[in-house]
Structure formats: structure tokens, C-alpha cells
Amino acid sequence: MKQIIASLLLALAIVVPAHAQLLNPAAAPTAQTANASGLQPIDRIVAVVNDDVILQSELNEAVRAVQQQYASQPGQLPPLNVLQKQVLDRLILMRLQIQKAQDQGVHVSDADVDKAVAAVAQQNKITPEQLRTEVERTGSFTQFRQQLADQLTVQRLHENVVHDQVSVTDSEIDNLLSSPSYKAGEVHLAHIQISTPSGADAAAIKAAQAKAEQALAAIKGGMDFHAAAIRYSDAPDALDGGDLGWRRMDELPAAFADTIASMKPGDVSPALRGPTGFHILKLIGQRAPNKQMVTEFHARQILIKPSELMTPAQAQQKAQDLYNRIVNKHEDFAKLAKENSDDPTTANAGGDMGWFKQQDWGATIAAQLDALKDNQVSQPFQSEAGWHILQRLGTRQSDLTNQIARDQARQAIGSRKAEQVYDDYLRDLRSNAYIQILVPELRDASEPSAAGAAS
């Protein structure tokens, strides 16, 4: 559990910096020097991002989180100056997105953050109170909540950007399903990305290619790909070793798919030129598409909803009375459903829910389906909708391969388009921003003191 919490805190520390008081950008003394002289350490500004700044303390905290994550494998990390540049780059990019979201009026409520906290706790199989205790061992829970809020803000910015620019047609789905790349199945990939800025000139492209070749030479010389990704890649997933997880071949750009098609698990590609820079790919594994057999359930229900005219206690009692009439007096379920159910989608059909996958009606009904036998009627149970009586009528195994394939194809095409749209958006966002890195050792060799200043 602690490892998962640490990973989450690492992601948040890199993704979203803490908000802090603006101080003079003059060089700051170290904590040791300050303590020895009896003075408090003075913060400094390391980068200006439009009308905002990133402080040395924010960068230090984010770097410390990365180092803590790799405490058992310190050799996987690049030299400190390289790590600081990588982390600062991510802090800058996130700050730009937060600024843009605020300009567009994107808002995240306290209730939204509460739900995010509960979700994180659930993923770690602990309570929100236990999560708070775990977070406060190494940091501030208030800051943790702010970081979650910023993360949600960026997610909503992403949704706003891609919503009106991404559509998927049936003909695109048909073409994908008939393509050799779709039939090729899935591949597990890792990558190293050496980005080029928007509108890069020949010198910038040549420098990026040289860095990609340097990374490739290190891998051929025996460096682990995971370690090479951490050291050389500037992709957002670099500090995760560049792991892309499982991807269907049809999700990949055509040029990459063609290269991967000729590779075997364990192979590493040459440096490939893409729209955002140079990429090195490692094929970790591959698997063929499988037939998708799914258990479907047939059931019917009666739903009693509390209302202004019926208290929750009265709704529960009515459900209990109907249950007794069905089970003890053997009254007709369908007739009672038509007369009493508050579910507009099933009441007129005698409560018949048709055939459906287990999770289609939510987790509460899914759990009841598991507990019931065919034709058995459940005791009244409560969900967010109200009080239910459920009768499981039967189960069957259905081949949903084609339906699932179409759903997955639609999602894959949409995801690929959305990823490209947002990548382009971020490149433009950065190229049009005023970014000044004030600490010389944190600048790239080709970067002037005022990088990316927009006129």
C-alpha cells in the first residue's frame, strides 16, 4: 500500500507544483548554510511561466519525490542535473495547462475533490481517513487535495480541447476492423521520446536526432531500456521507464506499426522520426485477439423510489410488502411491477430488464445477480436509485466479439485522434508562452535565457 501511495504522490509532485509565496530570484543558500547561520533558508524563482513562477522549493520537492520513488534503484535515475531539467520541464507544462484552464473558466468543486480522494483511497483499499494519515506522514493533506484539484482541472481542459475536434465514423470503424494491423492483435511497448519544438529548425532537429542516437547507443551498450528512458526520454511517462502498456497495432501510427510488425519481443527499434520528434520503441510482448465470450443475465425488477410523498422508510416498507406478496402469496411479479415500479424503462414490461452484461445496471445489482439462482427473488435491497426487488430469470454465454471489437475500434480511433490533437495543443501552448528559466544549469544547451518568449 505504501508503495502505491508513494507512486501517487510522485505523480502529483511531478504533475502539479505546490503554490507558494513569490520571492526574489537571487540564488538561495542551502538549508545547511542557513541553519548554521541561524537564518531561515531563502527560496528563489527558477522559472517564469507567463505571469506565474516556479520556485526552487517546488522543484526540490518534486525531485525529492522522484528520488524517493527510486530509492531502491538509484542507478536507474539520470544525473541530478538531468533529472532536475526533466522535472522542471513537466512542472512548466503543467503550469501552462493550469493557467489555460483557469482562463477558460474550468472549475473543480470541493465535492469533486472529495470524490477523487475517495477514489484514491478505494484504489489503495483503505479509507479516506487512512489515506489522509498516510499522506501526512510525508506532506500536507491540504496540498494533496490542491494537487488533486489541479489534476482534475487539467483532465477537464483535455476534455474541452478534444471534445469538438474528435469524431469517429462507422466507415472508419469498418476500415479499421478489416485492416491487417487490427487483426495483428496487441503489443506491449515501451518508448523513448526525444521531442522537437513546434516549428523546429534544422539545428534543433539535428540535436534531437543526435540525442536519440546517443540513447540508442547506450541501450546497445548494455543499458536497460527502462533506465535509458528515465535518463534520455522527455515524454511524460519517462520516469515510469517509458512503459506504454498494451496497445493494439491499429492504435499506433502507421510508420511505427510497420516497424513493430517486423520485430520480435525484446527487440529495440532504430530512432524513428515522428510528428513530435524522434522515438525509440521496445517490443516487450505481443498477443493475438481472442474470442470475447460474455455471461449475460436476464432479470426483472421492481423499483420503489423515495419522493416528496414517500419517505425512505416508507419506500423500504413498500418494497418489503411487495416482496412478501410475491414470495409468500405467490402474486404475479410482472403485474405488481406494472402497478408499482417507479422505473420508467422497465415498469410497462412487467419489470423485464432484458438480457444484459452483469455490470450494465451498476455494481449493486451486479452483486445481487451473483448471489441469486435462476428464478430466485431477492430480498429488498437499496441502491442510489431507491429500493429494489430483483428476480434473476436466467443466464447465457454470448459471443460479443464483433460488438466488443466495434466498441474497441471506436475507442481506439477516438483515443488516437484525441492524443494527436492534445499533443499539438500542448506544443502550441508552449511555443506561444513566455517561459524564462533563470537558473543557467537548468537550461538546455541550445536554450537562451528567455526560452519560448512569445512576442
For the stretch 181-213, pLDDT in tens is 777 788 999 999 998 877 788 898 999 999 999
Q: Which of 196, 193, 178 is nearest to 242 (CA)?
A: 193
The H or E element that residue 282 is part of is strand 277-287
d(CA 245, CA 133) in angstroms, rounded, equals 31
Strand order of the sheet with strand 45-49?
A: 52-55, 45-49, 435-437
Please provide the size of the chain in residues.
455
In this prediction, residue 448 carries a pLDDT of 53
3-state secondary structure of 340: helix
C-alpha cell of residue 380: 429488498
> Which of 30-39, 92-101, 443-452 is predicted least confidently?
30-39
Give me the residue label for grid cell 536507474: 76
Q: Which domains does the chain have, with CATH numbers?
A: 2-163 (1.10.4030.10), 170-290+403-442 (3.10.50.40), 293-399 (3.10.50.40)
Residue 299, H or E segment: strand 293-304
Q: For a pLDDT cut of 70, what percent of the chain falls above it?
A: 88
String of DSSP letters for 49-67 = ETTEEEEHHHHHHHHHHHH
Residue 424, C-alpha cell as written in the block: 499539438
Res 275: pLDDT: 81
The reported pLDDT for the residue numbered 37 is 43
For the chain, the straight-line distance linking the first and the last C-alpha, in angstroms and rounded, comes to 48
Percent of the chain with pLDDT over 90: 56
The answer to whether residue 32 scores a pLDDT higher than 90 is no
Quick one: which of 346, 421, 431, 402 has its CA closest to 178?
402
Give the CA dihedral 146, 152, 158, 163, nearest 10 degrees: -150
pLDDT for position 19: 34
The angle, 0 to 180 degrees and rounded to 10, between the axes of the packed helices 80-103 and 56-69 is 120
The per-residue pLDDT for 30 is 41
Most confident option among 223-232, 330-339, 436-445: 330-339
- Mean pLDDT along residues 5-17: 45
Whether the per-residue pLDDT at 36 is higher than 60: the answer is: no
Q: Is the pLDDT of residue 13 over 70?
A: no
